[in-house]
Structure 1
Amino acid sequence: MRTVALMMLVIPGVIAGLGIKLMRDLFFNILHPPFPFLWVQFLVGLIIFVMGIAFIAGFVLHRDRKNNKVGPRFQKKQKKEVPAE
């Protein structure tokens, strides 16, 4: 089970690393074939990077909520029950 959790974190981490590489290549004027312009390559890299980091952050937050290790700010809000009339 831990290997599955590790793979769930490694794959988005590698994808986020690919996003960083695509953004970095803009500064060195390296254009990769599927992209017509450098700014398109940068935007795709930024989107990939943000999505990878967001997945990892969501995974960690979900795990910590389940183990009750988050502060009151990040706990799920309880729904208030409305009394029946």
Structure 2
Amino acid sequence: MTRIIALIILVIPAILAVYGIKLMRDMAFQILTPPFPALWMQFLAGLLFFILGLAFVAGFILHRDRKQNKVQERFKSPNA
């Protein structure tokens, strides 16, 4: 059960990152999606979604690996 919950926790930000990539790609092809009034706003929102989604997934994986002691010395937390 905990693995399913962890998978759901990782899938939601991953979907957000994929949507961010889609928004940036649409801006490159001059396709404006309805909630955005300008292409540059669409690009910035896509970039923000991508960075937030990627950072969450990367932080989740780093946290899990730190708990299992599978990281290099430079990635270990300073208080451990």
The structure 1 segments of at least 4 consecutive aligned residues displaced by more than 6 Å after TM superposition are none
- CA distance in 2 between partners of 1:78 and 1:4 (Å): 28
The number of equivalent residue pairs is: 79
Segments of 5+ residues of structure 1 without an aligned counterpart are 80-85
- CA distance in 2 between partners of 1:60 and 1:21 (Å): 24
Q: CA RMSD in A?
A: 1.1
Segments of 5+ residues of structure 2 without an aligned counterpart are none
- CA distance in 1 between partners of 2:54 and 2:79 (Å): 27
Query: 1:60-75 residue pairs with structure 2 within 5 A?
Result: 60-75=61-76
- CA distance in 2 between partners of 1:46 and 1:57 (Å): 16
Q: Which residue of 2 aligns with 1:39?
A: 40
- CA distance in 1 between partners of 2:55 and 2:5 (Å): 18
Greater helix share, structure number: 2
- CA distance in 1 between partners of 2:79 and 2:57 (Å): 25
- CA distance in 2 between partners of 1:57 and 1:23 (Å): 21
Matched, 1:4 2:5: yes
Computing the radius of gyration from Cα coordinates, the structure with the larger value is: 1
